[in-house]
Structure 1
Amino acid sequence: MSTTATTKIALKHKIIVGVDYGTTYTGAAYVSTKECGLSDIVLISTWPGPTRDTETVFKTPSRIAYPADNPRISSKRWGYQVEPGMTAYSWTKLLLDNNTPLTEYDDSALNKASGAGILVLPEGKTAVDVVADYLGEVYSHIMNTIAKQITEQTLSLTPIEFWLSIPAIWSDQAKAATRTAAERAGFGCSLLRPQDTIFMINEPEAAAITALEKYTRSSRGGSVKPGDGVLICDCGGGTVDITTYLVNQTEPALKFEELCTGIAGGKCGSTAVDRRFYQLMSERFGDAFDTLPMKRKGPGSDFMKRFEIIKRDFGFSDEQTIFGIPINMALSVPNPCHFDDEERLVLLSSEDLKEMFDSVVEQILNLVRQQIRDANAESGNGVITRIILVGGFGDSEYLRKAFHHAFEAGSGGNITITVPDSPQAAIVQGATLRGLEGFRCSTRRCRRHYGFSWGIPFRQGFDKENDSYIHPFTGEKMVRGIMNWMIAKGEKYSEGHTCTVAVTHSASTRQISIPLYSCDLQYAPERNDEPAINRIGTIVSDLSNIDLSGFEQKVIGGVVNSNVTYTLKVIFGAKEGVLKFKVVCQVKVIGKAMINFTTDMVHSS
């Protein structure tokens, strides 16, 4: 085929790539826009490294090792390339959202895990640095895999649309941090590939796209019909996301909307079971276990690989069993009930595992119960007809049985519990489908209140004198710190929804700085100094290109101040996956608006 013909074909089509970067494992899939649908999506099933158990694996471990910590390697190792004995960094994804306070549903052992040497970072690197390094290796592998299928030349000419999945519970800072890391890793537009783009999709929505596509096209497990409420329980390694959707139509195309505000979720995924395992080991063996190097007991070690197999199979049998996990520890007086000194085995009973699972599973069930209550309050009792379990932990038989006993018919409920084929792949398939066929949730529910703090005329007998000030232009007595909530928690919005706020800014500089606030309570307080209100960051814009002579001006303290009126637009639900901002003054968009997050993260829009 000639170069000209190849160029025409490449420009006519594009490639959609879905990426599911998880706390414990990462998956990817791709498809060409000339293909038809779910059956055409190619799951990447070959990942490099000697530690994988089989030739075909649909996900690779989310871990990375550096030469600085491992003298016997000369370059970064990632995924299955990280061998037992290497010092590696795992669960780093959770650190991207490190500034979000723990909720009642978060794993109480999460903060203690850093003390066990897991949620740590290399010296001199941030979480974004480590994630970018890891995703850079994933990006290279994805590109090499696609190149083998379509040739390097065709790939170089074909635009790629990347869809990265993110937890729905992610804070705005964490979403921006994830996008920054992905861009630094090579995803999206670059000098070498200026035609590429990067978008983000919430993990439950991606899972819903896959699951609803399957269950509305097939009668296996009972088909989903218009009017059904479907709860997606995405149980991953680090996070659990609960979102409920109402199916509006299945033919000729699938349409669905978010039924009620998604539950605030929690960091209580399958790694919470691992953390309880570490706690048990520490309680039983003390310093003998605690002082072991992480390369012998951390994620990816032979010790934890054996525990992972036991954890994955737990629930298939009710038989009481004693499991042995090899590890060499120096114990002065070993308890034969917990350690086989001759074989050097940690001994775990079925009851031990049950205790590790039960507290985590109960947290997840409570999340689901709360979401069902919210859905019933919104649309009437019985609106949810199906719960679909997805994600790595969603494949747990113990978890599935717990859901069956809690919600399914015959157990006091009337909700069907289903686990789709390859639940670990549901998210990455859905992310790819989102780009391929444009499947999307028609309307979403805002997960928190967003707004700004204003000054309003002082209300005598109501406002505090300490909060008062005199307006420099009008001389009127005002009160500061009053919240103007532009979008409320639970409010419906569609993709690209724009909230517009008229602002008057009195200052002597041309740089505008406006704090943006959020609140997770059902009903947001009036003042910005309430403990429940979080300052997300500061929106910054430049008025340098604006003629200020048309605005009222006044000399204050020997400095000319301008009373500038402009419009601030905040865009929710953008495909880019982050908040976007525009400042309009004198009927034109001025400069660039960006937000300086409280994490010192900066994202331009």
Structure 2
Amino acid sequence: MATSDLEKWMLNSTRQQLSSIGLDDDDDEGDNLLVIGIDFGTTYSGIAWATRADFNSDQINLITSWPGSGREEGKAPTEIYYEDKMLWGFEMEKDTSPISWFKLLLLKDQDLSSEQRSSEFILRARKMARENGKTAVDLIADYLRAIWGHALEAIAKDRGGSVLEAAQFHVVITVPAIWKDYARQDMETAAKQAGILDLRPAGKTILTFAPEPEAAALSTLCEPGRKPKKDDVYLICDAGGGTVDLITYKINGVDPILMDEAVEGTGGLCGGIFIDEAFEAMVRNRLGRKWHQISQSGIKEMLKEDWELSIKPQYKPGNTKKEYVVSVPAEAYQKDKDKFNDTTKEPFIKKGRIHFKGSHIERAFADAFASIDKLIEAQILKARNQGLSLTGIILVGGLGGSPYLYEHLKAQHEPAKINVLQSSGMRPRTAICRGAVYKGFMSGMAASSNGLSQAPIQVTSTISRLSYGLFYQASFDPNVHLQQDKVWDEAAHKWRATNQMQWYLTKGENVSTKAPVSHTWCQLYQNNNHFGNTLTVMLYQCQEDTPPSRKDDTVKEWTPIQCPIDIPFWALEDYRNGAGKTVKMLKFNIEMVPSGASIEFAVIINGKRVVQSDLKAQFDRIEHPGWHVMAPTAKLCHRLNLDPVTCFETFGAFRKLYRPAERDLSPLTYICPSSHLERLPPELIDMILKPLGASGMVALGLCSRTLWRHVTSMVRSAYRTSTSDPSWAGIPLICASSYIDDLPESLHSLYPEVNDPWAVDDIDNRVNPSDTWRKRMLQCSAEASKKNSNIYLEAFDKYITMSRIPKELHTLLKASIDRIPYVEGTRWQLRNLTTKEYVSLGLVLENNNRDRMTLALENHRWATVDAILLWYICWTSLLGAKAIPADNSTARLEHLFQRRGPWAGHCFDIIQEKNSDPEWKDVTSIFATYADLLMEKKQKEWSKEPIQVLKKVKSLPQTAAQRLFPRLTRKRQKTKTHREMTGLKRVRDALHRIYSLVR
């Protein structure tokens, strides 16, 4: 061993010993700690913060001054609007239509009920996100960036910029209790994009997540005048704008307050926006056709001023004579000015105002309150099953401040002697962000600092939401283990049983935060070649109530732990194996404890904590089912959201695969002899042209035809490079699902390293190289863009006309632009270059718009080239996924994309149809048969329940829905009653509204 290596190892060992007795350099790392709590809500968001000194003196600071607001507010609206610059919060004018409720877009469709998926609020948010070219993560990142920047300005204004720069940040973002790991991972991604985790001179910013009801409990139980007693049991009900989250705690100590999680947190999507939606439906039904005469800004102002800021937060039952008035915008009566009054039915309309009674208002709250009642009853029942009696229900959140909700729950639970508690003023609305600050001082970096013992409240145990564990190999015992799990371990020189699971935490287990679960592991190394400087351990999770002792299909990979090994190979402990040979052994401990919305873990090697952090799993950031279309050799990836609303949305296959007959630009020849000026060498011409703007180039072109030719050549080159679509013609394409353990054979030659479906890592965990390839490919790929040649051509024609340059000088340039020629009635071919097969297609205009051309099967306008490709280039390793049959006639129609497509990894292009070539096979009839089967199935399904078309028609493009509608019309016309014909008209009107929303 080299002397320098020995010195380095001895120095590290000395540092470890100093650290273990508290003599390291980081003794005062918590003194400059600044904890910032962010309550990112569905409708409103807030921020609280505190330094170590603030927290020790029971002071938590709130951000109450917001841009665009003339008064102090505990929260700002969770709304953004994109114009010349992004507006957020209170900055919007009344006539704008901001993007709202985008927090709910993080949830996958399978985590929403059918009513929630068809909610007008969620559909509107999705539509506006698509129109602005934003994903849910993008929208959240933009909003967090704005509110984070404002918070830092406010803190610097309060304490000074130098104090802020020197502070170490611990940021706590609260999340709903019902959120799964993928949504929390997306929140972390958004926080990174927002700059919250940017490097700072004071050190790394720590980010943790806390369940919203836990944060609410931490703040509310510490409020002045609220003195919980030992053995009290409190249910925290966080009723917010989108979600209602609940959690139940038992008080085990009072000075400081020590809480055990008694019942696992639950929740549901039944927050304030669903009450808003119900009220909006009441107003819409009362106004009838006049509703459609009101602009979006008029609807927003009407509901915001009269409902959201007045009736909804103040309504209290009991006064049967009181009326609640909503002013209808005058635009609703532009065509019918005599109808300002309508007392023919309730609620009455008088002088352009709707007069609601209390019974009407309570109807808007009914469904949400019923869902809240079910959630609370379930928590109470689970507490009783554990022998616990509820002391009180504490209401927090925006809806939690409602007097009506308080009276409703009081009437429900007062007979059982359960107190319902509701603070006044801003406290219910700001409870979560204040609690996030408490959480920040109780975990992570703050927990290891001096003074935590003085915290006024602590969570001493939590309940694990899932089972978490490690895959390992045990000594083989034929009486215990399966023969198929028997493997030979060369390093230990013994037979082992693979696929064994060691569970650290089991679902529903109550684990003390002060006593983490710890297990000791060892890894054997035969020689230095197998020893690296990094230890990788894969963690697994299971949703079953009783996790299996052997790895099966219910056990899923969660996330890897990676930690450095700074011990040299020669310093490892000796171990004598079964053959009497000495090998090296690395011993390490892994300990875990659940901490709210994450798992805190530590890896200990040689007595040193080499890794300690909040564990957050890495999940696909794409909504269900997490599929991506990739052109791997082009380093371009287009991400597809295959939920029921957008599964047939085009990804631009026509433009990406179009291959013109002549790819090269048409040449422009010299038109006249060169003058002395025009005989300059190309280097000097480039020096003249590059600094010039567009107008300068045009002016120079007026002086010289040859220089104009040079200018147009540069323009063409720049256009082709930066504006035209990158072509995918002739490049392998694959639509891969969230998880794959192999690749199509056609990609094996390109990526031979993924041929082996499984490999073994340093501690015998199975690693899938194919899935690793897919994730790496996504990370290194850019999102493919959509371009429009017409934008360039229109500008080109405009400036050519203004400059008076002779027409013949730019005709060839214009003709040379790569455009898909539009000729009505022309036929095209989608060609599989790998198998020499083709599909014959026709040109289709979407809404008669030439800028939105695509190709489709004849007599199947909805079966576009995009859908055809998605059927056949999909690739998955999901359990039960089967290959698509060659003729498609027996293919199951459910879960279209969960297949192993025969064209996955093949190369394609699109050309205008030409004479048949005997080397090529026409497979058009196969796809036509499949399309007929699919449409027939959908028609049968939908014709049984015509009214359900209002929800299901969104899963097809407009062209398909128009084809279905006549059939639905014929079915309904068999009935003669006026009532049913009126119902048909309502169906038709609703369909048209859905069309406009989907577009």
Percent of paired sites with the same residue: 24
- Select which of 431, 437, 440 maps to 2:458: 440
- Secondary structure of the 2:238 match is strand
The answer as to 2:63 corresponding to 1:41 is no
* Shift in Å, 1:527: 8.3
CA contact (8 A) 1:471 1:477 kept: yes
Residue 250 and residue 582 in structure 1: after superposition, are their counterparts in 2 closer, same or farther (change >3 A)? closer
Give the Cα–Cα distance (whole angstroms) in 1 for the partners of residues 589 and 297 of structure 2: 51
Give the Å deviation of 1:111.
4.2
**Contact 2:104/2:242, CA 8 A, preserved across alignment:** yes
Instruction: Give the AA of the match of 1:446.
Output: S
Aligned residue in 1 for 2:237 = 233
Q: Deviations over 1:146-205 (max 9, x none)?
A: 111222233222333333222232212222222332233233452455354333322222
Alignment of 1:188-203 (within 5 A): 188=197, 190-191=199-200, 194=203, 196-203=205-212
One-letter amino acid matched to 2:598: V
Change (3 A) 1:146 1:448: same
Query: Are residues 1:259 and 2:281 paired?
Result: no
RMSD: 4.6
**Partner of 1:64 in structure 2?**
80
TM-score, scaled to structure 1:
0.75
1:277 to 276, 279, 284: 279
Query: What is the alpha-carbon distance in structure 2 between the residues aligned to residue 458 and residue 93 of structure 1?
Result: 51
Mean alpha-carbon deviation: is it higher for 25-34 or for 55-64? 25-34
Shift of 1:236: 1.1
Letter in 2 for 1:127: A
Per-residue CA distance 1:103-151 (angstroms, 9 max, x = gap):
xxx6943542366413452444322221111011111111111111222
2:598 maps to 1:578: yes
1: distance between equivalents of 2:354 and 2:237? Answer: 33
Contact conserved, 1:187 with 1:197, CA < 8 A, in 2?
no
1:218 aligned onto 2:221 = no
The residue that corresponds to 1:597 in the other structure is 619
- Pair 1:205-2:214 in alignment: yes
Shift in alpha-carbon separation, 1:200–1:450, aligned structure 2, 3 A: same
- In the alignment, residue 177 of structure 1 is paired with which amino acid? D
Q: Secondary structure at the match of 1:442?
A: strand
SS of the equivalent of 1:431 reads: helix
How far has the Cα of 1:249 moved from its partner?
Answer: 1.7
SS at match of 1:425: helix
2:54 maps to a residue whose letter is E
Query: Any conservation in 2 of the 1:261–1:489 contact (CA below 8 Å)?
Result: no
Once residues 479 and 16 of structure 1 are traced to their aligned partners in structure 2, the CA distance between those partners, rounded to angstroms, is 45
- Residue in structure 1 matched with residue 508 of structure 2 by the alignment: 490
Secondary structure in 2 aligned to 1:213? coil
Q: Quick check: which has more Rg, 1 or 2?
A: 2
Give the letter for the 2:382 counterpart: D
User: Aligned partner of 2:230: which letter?
Assistant: P
> For 2:139, what is the secondary structure of its paired residue?
helix
Separation in 1 of the partners of 2:521 and 2:110?
A: 30
Query: Counterpart amino acid of 1:303?
Result: L
Task: Return the offset for 1:208.
Answer: 1.3
Q: Counterpart in 2 of 1:248?
A: 252
Deviation at 1:271, TM superposition (A): 1.4
Partner secondary structure for residue 117 of structure 1:
helix
TM-score (norm 2): 0.48
Quick one: structure 1 residues 226 and 115, their matched pair in 2 at CA, closer, same or farther if it must change by over 3 Å? closer
Give the whole-Å Cα distance in 2 for the aligned partners of 1:500 and 1:140.
43
Distance 1:565 1:240, change over 3 A: farther
Cα deviation code 1:59-99 (max 9, x no counterpart): 100111112xxxxxx21100001223323221222223336
| Cα-to-partner distance string for 1:373-398 (whole Å, 9 max, x where unaligned) | 111212x152x111111111111111
**How far did 1:526 drift?**
7.6
In structure 1, the gaps of 5 or more residues are 1-8, 68-73, 553-563
Q: Is contact 2:176–2:211 with CA below 8 Å preserved after alignment?
A: yes
Q: Could you tell me which residue of structure 1 aligns to residue 542 of structure 2?
A: 518
Q: 1:199 to 1:419 in 2, by over 3 A?
A: same
By how many angstroms is 1:417 displaced? 0.9
Deviation at 1:316, TM superposition (A): 4.8
User: Within 5 Å, which residues of 2 pair with 1:461-472?
Assistant: 471=487
Matched, 1:89 2:99: yes
Tell me the distance in 1 between the aligned counterparts of 2:73 and 2:473: 58
1:286-313 per-position Cα deviation (integer Å, ceiling 9, x unaligned): 7765797655546xx4433432122112
Q: CA deviation at 1:419?
A: 0.6
CA, structure 1 residues 286+194, in 2 after alignment: closer, same or farther (shift >3 Å)?
farther
The secondary structure found in structure 2 opposite 1:132 is helix
- Report the equivalent of 2:413: 407
Name the SS for the 1:275 alignment partner.
Answer: helix
- The alignment status of 1:372 with 2:380, answered yes or no, reads yes
Say if 1:514 and 1:538, in contact at 8 Å, map to a contact too. yes
Residue 285 to residue 31, structure 1, CA distance change in 2 (3 Å): same
- Kindly indicate whether the alpha-carbon contact (under 8 Å) linking 1:515 and 1:536 is maintained by their aligned counterparts in 2: yes
Corresponding residue for residue 827 of structure 2: none
The 3 A distance-change label for structure 1 pair 55 and 114 is closer
1:134 aligned onto 2:143: yes
Picking from 188, 195, 212, the partner of 1:186 is 195
Does residue 112 (structure 1) correspond to residue 114 (structure 2)? The answer is no
Quick one: which of 427, 431, 446 aligns to 2:432?
427
CA distance in 2, matches of 1:90, 1:350: 28
Q: How does 1:20-35 map to 2 (within 5 A)?
A: 20-35=39-54
| Contact 1:232–1:243 (CA under 8 A) maintained in structure 2 | yes
CA gap 1:589/1:17 in 2 versus in 1, 3 angstroms: closer
**Counterpart residue number, 1:16:** 35
Structure 1 residue matching 2:247: 3-state secondary structure: strand
Q: Report the residue type matching 2:507 in the other structure.
A: K
1:252-331 matched pairs, under 5 angstroms: 253-262=256-265, 264-280=266-282, 289=291, 294-297=296-299, 301-308=301-308, 309-320=310-321, 321-327=323-329, 328-329=331-332
User: Secondary structure at 2:125's aligned position in 1?
Assistant: coil
Uncovered stretches (5+) of structure 2, i.e. residues with no partner: 1-27, 442-453, 525-529, 577-584, 627-774, 776-999
2:108 to 93, 98, 106: 98
Equivalent-residue separation in structure 1 for 2:94 and 2:102 (angstroms): 18
Aligned-partner SS, 2:360? helix
Q: Which amino acid aligns with 2:151?
A: I
Please report how far the alpha carbon of residue 341 of structure 1 lies from its aligned counterpart in structure 2 after TM superposition. Answer: 7.8
2:396 to 364, 383, 390: 390
Number of the residue aligned with 1:560: none
The residue that corresponds to 1:558 in the other structure is none
Tell me by how many angstroms 1:47 deviates. Answer: 0.7
The amino acid that maps onto 2:316 is: G
What is aligned with 2:723?
A: none
Counterparts of 1:522-561 in structure 2 under 5 Å? Answer: 522-524=545-547, 535=556, 537-539=558-560
Point out the structure with the larger helix share: 2
The answer on whether the counterparts of 1:232 and 1:244 sit within 8 Å (CA) in structure 2 is yes
1:261: Cα distance to partner? 2.1
Q: Please give the per-residue CA displacement for 1:319-371, whole angstroms capped at 9, x wherever unaligned.
A: 25353243444798987647888855566443332222112111111111111
The C-alpha deviation readout for 1:226-248, integer Å capped at 9, x for no partner, is 11111111111111111111112
Corresponding letter in the other structure for 1:578: S
User: What is the one-letter code of the residue matched to 2:79?
Assistant: R
Alignment partner, residue 71 of structure 2: 55
Contact 1:161 1:197 in 2 (8 A): yes
SS in 1 for 2:222: helix
Match of 2:210, as an amino acid? I
1:583/1:246 CA distance change after superposition, 3 Å: closer
Q: Distance in 2 between matches of 1:115 and 1:207?
A: 26
